[in-house]
Structure 1
Amino acid sequence: MKDSWSNPLGLFDVSGKVALITGASGAFGAVAAKALAGAGCKLVLAAGNADALAEVQTACVGLGAEVAALAIRPSDESACDRLVALAAERFGALDILVVASGMNKVAKIDALTPADFETVMDANVTQSWLLARAATKQMKTQENGGKIVLVSSARGLLGHPAGYTAYCASKSAVDGITKALGCELGEDRITVNAIAPTVFRSPLTAWMFEEDDKARGFRDGFLARVPKGRLGEPEDLIGPLLFLSSRASDFYTGHILYADGGYTAG
């Protein structure tokens, strides 16, 4: 505690920690990878798109990080175990897991097929569970345990009128996994929390930030419910990530941290 008073920012220090990030070529995954690289972590990056993954790997190396990358999706138990094993074999530990892989299929319920629903649930829920399971096995062997950070959404709490039944259900399930594992793994020195963004700037949402009638119409309606009065930027996700990945959050587990400008508060 004495060191915390003299150097409170040291609580957020993750330098030298080993982080595994899945979905590392996606919008949130790339932010997480670059943020943790800049903070001094050693990284294992995974994504299905090999070319996009290579770009993120290059960026992280440019930030001074040691990086191992594997073009693989965490689609089954074997793949998840392989990723955790890579972290342990290459860097000797797994301190941080960030599950940023996932997907959405947007369609009203009468147009959404059972196969589409199962695909979204598998990508967002089953894969999060499998990765947490694989990471837990490794983290339980470590003196300092570890940090598991899942990616939820404001849609885990709120519905959406535009055909989001699969996505909302999947993110509600991620919230449930977060809370259940937070309770289950506390004695093992493993914290489990989730970051739940609303709309933030990414290649998929770039149109929402444009200055045309369609974008302005969307923003006018959406921002009426956002107390901060703007859409999210990638930088808005860095602070929550560093908090949940570091000693600063040692007493926090089972939490859903909404990165939403106050959207879910009103």
Structure 2
Amino acid sequence: MRPIVRSGAGARLGAVLLFAGPLVSWVAEFVTAAAWQHPHYSPFHNWVSHLGLTGPSQVAFGQVGNSPLGAVMDIDWVLYGVLLIVGALLVFDLRQGALPIAIVVLAILSGVGVALVGIFQGSNADVANGLIAFHTSGAQGVMLAGNTMAIVVGVNGARIGLSRGRRVASIVLGTVGLVAFAVFMADVFTGWAWNIGMFERAVIYPIMIGHVLLARGLLAAWPAEHRRPADPVSRRIVGAGPGRGPRPGAVR
């Protein structure tokens, strides 16, 4: 079965970038949420994107937004998008046909989507000037493309070099994310908005975990010829006893 990933140092760097993106984002989310001022920030109740609100406290989309480190979260989302796009381009070999192209396109859609969330805030100002369309389309784009990418990666994981466990996990994560997306959108459009942050994360976190699984699987499956070769076994001709010449080929 022909692989669809590149080899060499560039591909290995790409895998590292795919691994770093979600980890950096989780750290940024934790730090930004810890700095959140009154009222108390709840990952179950509050919108994730409200962590990126900058400026004074405001009520946006029915919730109070008061994130003193909002710029940190915004920068991280843009960085995550860049790492994802560059990592996918370095890892997947577009010369191998439609499949790697499809995966890279999904990665680009996801990366652009998460970057748009960081560039255009879910604020009252962006609602008034119409820029909120970029925020919402970016958020929904990464939710759909990111979870679809996880499923495609899992289904075709053998050509990527993923273990069976990682392949199954990727499919499950993407499926859970898409189901959660439907529930999340229903929660939004019905106006119920019950634990909106919980359902939002149920869509987003499977994507992030999927990126970690993909990156770790790539690094674990690195071709043997690109690993450090073992030290050659020293060979020494063993001399024969007195009156005998050396025995050709005798080694120890």
**Normalised by the size of structure 1, how large is the TM-score?**
0.27
Structure number with the bigger relative contact order (C-alpha 8 A, sep ≥ 6) is 2
Hey, which of these two has a bigger chunk of helix by percent? 2
**Normalised by the size of structure 2, how large is the TM-score?**
0.28
